[in-house]
Amino acid sequence: MTEGLAAQILEHIRGSRLAVGTHVTAQELAERFSVSRFPIGQALQLLATKGVLTHERNRGYFVSEAKDASPETLGLVARDDTSDIYFRIAEDHLHGRLPDPASEAYLKETYGATKAQLNTVLGRIAQEGWAERRPGYGWSFSPMLTTPESLEQTYRVRLALEPAALLEPTYHLDPETAARCREAELRLLGGAIETDSADALHERGVRFHEAIIGASGNPFFLEAVRRINRVRRLLSYRSMIDRKRYRQQCEEHLQILDLLERGKNEEASQALRRHLEHTIENLQEIRPILER
pLDDT tens digits, one per residue of 82-130: 777 888 888 788 778 889 899 999 999 999 888 888 988 898 888 777 8
Average pLDDT, the chain: 84
The C-alpha atoms of residue 82 and residue 4 are separated, in whole angstroms, by 9
Task: Quote the pLDDT of residue 277.
Answer: 93
Q: Kindly tell me if the per-residue pLDDT of 288 is higher than 60.
A: no
Closest CA to 86 of 33, 40, 32, 27: 33
Q: State mean pLDDT over 258-265.
A: 98
- Bridge partners of residue 55, in order along the sequence: 61
pLDDT per residue over 139-176, tens digit each?
998 776 666 677 788 889 999 999 999 999 999 999 99
Per DSSP, the three-state class of 168 is: coil
Q: Name the maximum alpha-carbon separation found in the chain.
A: 57
For 62, phi and psi rounded to 5 degrees?
Answer: -135, 145
8-state DSSP, 102:
B
At 192, the pLDDT band (50, 70, 90 cuts) reads confident
Whats the size of the chain, residue-wise? 292
Closest CA to 203 of 171, 175, 181: 181
Interior CA angle at 167 toward 166 and 170, to 5°? Answer: 90
The C-alpha atoms of residue 88 and residue 218 are separated, in whole angstroms, by 37
Task: Quote the pLDDT of residue 286.
Answer: 47
Task: Quote the pLDDT of residue 290.
Answer: 42
Task: Quote the pLDDT of residue 289.
Answer: 40
Are 131 and 122 in contact, with CB atoms under 8 Å apart? Answer: yes
The C-alpha atoms of residue 16 and residue 178 are separated, in whole angstroms, by 10
Q: Kindly tell me if the per-residue pLDDT of 280 is higher than 50.
A: yes
